[in-house]
Every structure is written in C-alpha cells, then in structure tokens.
A and B are shown apart, each in its own frame.
Chain A
C-alpha cells in the first residue's frame, strides 16, 4: 500500500509541478462554466416565458433542464481531455528510460500501475470538485435536488475512472505520448457510440452492444437513476483496462 502511495505521490507532484494539471483543470473549468452559464440563461428565459402559465411553470425542472445537459457536455469534455492526462504515464517512463528505475526497485508492477492510476484519479476528482462551485449559484437562487446532482457527479467520476484506465493501458503500449492519446481517444469514442450499431443489430447482439456502450450507462446516471448495473460496468471497465496494462508490461519484459 505504501508503495502505491509512493508512486501516486510522485505522479501527483509531477502533475502539479508541470503545467499539465493546471492547464487541463483550467480549460475544463472554462468550458464547463460556459456550458453552465448558457444552459442557465436558456433556463431563465424559458422560466420567464413559462411564468405566465402556472401549469407549465410547474413543469420547469432545473435538474432536467440544466444539470442533465451539463453532465452530458462534461462527459464529452472528459472524453477529449482525459487521454491527455494519462498519455505520459507509462510512455514517458519508457522513452526516458526511467522505467528501468521503477522495474528494478522492490515494487510490484501492479503497485506501479495502481499508483499512477490513483494520481490520475486525484486530478480527475479535483476537476469535478471544482465545478461544484457552479452549484453555489443554483442553490442560492433556486431549488435543485442535491441527490440527483451527486448521482450525476458519481456517474462522471465512474466514467472518468474508466477513461483513465483505458488511457493507462494505451500509455503502456507505446513510448510516443501522442500515439497513446490518439489511441485512447479513438477507443473511447468507439465505445461511446457502440450503441449506434445496436440500432441495426438484432437479438443478443443488440443487448451486447447496448451494454458495452459507455453512453448508455451514463445517460441513466445523469437523470438521477443509480443502477448497480451501471456501476459494475464502469468498475469492470476500469479493472479490465488496468489488468490489460499489467499483462502488457509483464509480457514486454518476459519476451
């Protein structure tokens, strides 16, 4: 456990002593802030129109009209940005030869992978927590439902965790960071839109494709539905990514 923390601490330090973490977090916040404010001003203009009709006014729901689309937008930004967070984790070590230090230290490969993964998760958590500031305004001037919002954040965290695991895996495949980022992005996008293929599929394939699609599982969570099926999907996605990373590193050394 202390070995995992040693690696994680060093990686977190690297994220925050280089500009990477700051740039990723700042750009993420700017984009999320923009989406949030435009969704909110649209909601406000709707609210003013609806105020004339008591029936429609009752239908106004800030969770559905602001948070659900916001979470979808955030998930797309994560899809684009998280590969940049993970691309260097193993690629850079391999390129600069520092992997020789790690693998000749009395630390298991699994601990190294988990340490690096944990560091990326910390940055992701920081990104998400900081967007929480936006909700100060909605809670001050409105009455959104907190459990639904937290559920959406949980969905983002789980989905981000799955993205990061995929990123760690692709980073272990190549010593080129750009290649690692592009492969991660491509693979994630493919998983994202897998449910499109489900429209034309039939029978068992339809279910399989729908189940594998990242988007399908996320959609429910933004609406405040917490299903263990979705949680299991993301956790097993992440686990599988890390497991493959372990296999890649071991097999490379044993070849």
Chain B
C-alpha cells in the first residue's frame, strides 16, 4: 500500500531523513515512532506531497508520489501536526470547503460531510465556529477533514498531542475504528500510543531507520534471550562468578547494584538463581524478569545507543 525506498531529505547541510525505507500493508495502522526531531514530520510531509524529497522514491497505492502528485493527493487524507483550521468558519462550512478542495463531486459533498461528522463524532458542534470549540473537538475536526474524501490512506501527524488523557483515549478509539477501511500511518513520540493502537511500527531517530516490523515480529525478535535482573545487598563479585557457574547461564553482567542473568529460552533457571542467592546470603532484595521488549529498544534508540 505504502512503500518508501531510500528516502532522503536534506535542508542544506542538515539531513532530516536519511535513506529511509519501509512498507505498510493495506488496512493496517502503523506507527512512526521516534523522539522529537527524528524526521517523522518531514517523512509525512514528503508522503503527502507538501515537501519534495532530495533522493529516493515512494509509492502510495502503486502511484509514484513524485510523478503523479495530484492522483496521490486524492487518495491520501492528512492531519498535519498543526491542525489546519480556519477559526472563522463553522465546522460544516470548513468540512465542505475541504471536500471541494479534495475534489469530492458537488453532488456527493453533503453525504461526505454527514459521514465525516458521524464518524468523528462532531454532530453536536457542526454549526459552531471553529474558534469556539474545544481542543479535543478541533482535533476531531482535523481527523474529519482528513477522511472527508474517504481516502485509502490516512496520514496522521501526532494525532493525540496536546489533549487531556480522556480525549487521548477517545481519539485513539476513533483511529482504531477507522482501521481496515483505511490504511493509517500515525506518528508519535509516545511508545504507549504504538503498542495500544498500531499493528506495526517504524522506529526512526535522526532521520535513520532503527527498526521496523509488526509488533509481534519485533517482540519475537527480542525473545532470543530470557533475562532476569537481581538486586543484591552484598557479594556482587562472588555472585558474578557463582552465577556463571550455574549450568545453562550464558551471560552475567553487573550494572551498579544490579546483576543481569541471561539464558536461552526454553529453560527456566529462576529457581536455581534464587536458591543460590539465598544459600550464599547475598541479601537478595529484588528479582524481576526483564524480557527485552520494544520499550527497551525504543529507550536505547532515544538515548542514542542505536539498535543492533
């Protein structure tokens, strides 16, 4: 549905997007995850035809975005980070204007308006001026304008930013309800947003691809090692050696007061480890499983470690 190949965008010497490639399948929600200034907005602006790319290629619905921009724009609905609203228009007038801009035939605009208002839950404010409605409703109007022409692809740039927790949940539910009919890419710097709404994720940092895949794939790839963390009061040096001696343990490492013990999946050595800790009287304070997950990966990416 959406294919991005070796996309690069330079602003003078600054490289905003660097050789980015990923694919999103039809009917899925994918998250574009990265810290601020990672290149998320730039990537989305290129896909929507707002900005050209310096190099690379991208297709949406098998249409090259640089060769046939107007056809691509017809099949994309876009919610920019700054919701493009005209405060002095009413919600209905605004949506009708967007429908005309997106080439919805005049006879079908009323139906498109009704559908967008119904889907995004705007019925109670449709006659009001946009400047007078709340932030949450404005965000909904933004989503309504993105889907007024019933596009195959929705591109949402930080759709929940600046909303209160209840509104965030509402918008997430709204986005989830649009899945299937529309292929959705949303950008966010909040991991929870991805794990709660998305099927897959593209993690980028400083314009570079760090990891991409469906949530299951990514989670599975980190299941290569079972890992637990021990917090001991004393005997760290001794523990380092003794734990390594347990059959099956592959790696023991120490970070300050905490010991990490790793072994291959399929075994369960937690009992052996805890028994040893008690018998040797290391003062076991805490023992927890630390399956490597997307969160760890994301934290490593954000802290500049990079993904292997």
A and B: bona fide binding partners: yes
Q: Which residues of A contact B (CB under 8 A)?
A: 2-3, 6-7, 10, 13-14, 17-18, 96-108, 253-255
Contact bitstring B75-97, A, C-beta under 8 A = 1, else 0: 01010111111101100010001
Q: Quick check: is B272 within 8 A (CB to CB) of the other chain?
A: no
Residues of chain A with a CB closer than 8 A to B49's CB:
103-104
Residues of chain A with a CB closer than 8 A to B98's CB:
101, 105
Please pick, from B73, B86, B97, the residue contacting A106 in the complex, using a CB distance under 8 A.
Answer: B73
User: A40 to B82, alpha carbons, bound, how many Å?
Assistant: 54
B interface bracket (residues with beta carbon within 8 Å of A): 20 to 34
Residues of chain B with a CB closer than 8 A to A14's CB:
86, 88-89
Q: How far is the CB of A113 from chain B (nearest CB, A)?
A: 15
Tell me the total A-B contact number using a CB cutoff of 8 A: 69
Verify B52–A253 contact, CB threshold 8 A: yes
Residues of chain B with a CB closer than 8 A to A2's CB:
100
User: A17 to B86, alpha carbons, bound, how many Å?
Assistant: 12
Verify A17–B88 contact, CB threshold 8 A: yes
Verify A6–B97 contact, CB threshold 8 A: yes
Verify B101–A105 contact, CB threshold 8 A: yes
Q: Quick check: is B51 within 8 A (CB to CB) of the other chain?
A: yes
Q: How far is the CB of A251 from chain B (nearest CB, A)?
A: 11
Q: Quick check: is B145 within 8 A (CB to CB) of the other chain?
A: yes
User: A99 to B78, alpha carbons, bound, how many Å?
Assistant: 12
Verify B74–A104 contact, CB threshold 8 A: no
Residue of A nearest to B77 (CB): A104
Q: Quick check: is B71 within 8 A (CB to CB) of the other chain?
A: yes
Q: How far is the CB of A126 from chain B (nearest CB, A)?
A: 19
User: A24 to B145, alpha carbons, bound, how many Å?
Assistant: 32
- Chain A contact surface mostly: helix
Residues of chain A with a CB closer than 8 A to B82's CB:
96-97, 100
Please pick, from A6, A17, A255, the residue contacting B101 in the complex, using a CB distance under 8 A.
Answer: A6
Q: How far is the CB of A169 from chain B (nearest CB, A)?
A: 21
Q: How far is the CB of B58 from chain A (nearest CB, A)?
A: 14
User: A2 to B100, alpha carbons, bound, how many Å?
Assistant: 9
Verify B80–A101 contact, CB threshold 8 A: yes
Q: How far is the CB of B90 from chain A (nearest CB, A)?
A: 9
Residues of chain A with a CB closer than 8 A to B103's CB:
106
Q: Could you list 13 examples of A-B contacts with CB < 8 Å?
A: A3-B101, A6-B100, A13-B89, A97-B82, A100-B45, A101-B84, A102-B101, A104-B49, A104-B73, A104-B80, A106-B70, A107-B101, A253-B51
Please pick, from B51, B76, B78, B84, the residue contacting A98 in the complex, using a CB distance under 8 A.
Answer: B84
Supplied contacts A13-B89, A18-B88, A255-B11, 8 more A-B pairs, CB within 8 Å: A13-B93, A14-B86, A97-B82, A101-B101, A104-B73, A104-B76, A106-B70, A106-B102
Residues of chain B with a CB closer than 8 A to A7's CB:
101
Q: Quick check: is B42 within 8 A (CB to CB) of the other chain?
A: no
Q: Quick check: is B187 within 8 A (CB to CB) of the other chain?
A: no
User: A19 to B79, alpha carbons, bound, how many Å?
Assistant: 29
Residue of B nearest to A101 (CB): B84
Choose among A14, A99, A100, A255 the residue with the greatest number of B CB atoms under 10 Å from its CB.
Answer: A100
Verify A100–B80 contact, CB threshold 8 A: yes
Residue of B nearest to A5 (CB): B100
Please pick, from A6, A98, A103, A105, the residue contacting B86 in the complex, using a CB distance under 8 A.
Answer: A98
Please pick, from B71, B78, B89, B100, the residue contacting A104 in the complex, using a CB distance under 8 A.
Answer: B78
Given contacts A104-B48, A253-B50, contact A96 B84 (CB under 8 A): yes
Residue of B nearest to A18 (CB): B88
Please pick, from B52, B74, B85, B97, the residue contacting A10 in the complex, using a CB distance under 8 A.
Answer: B97
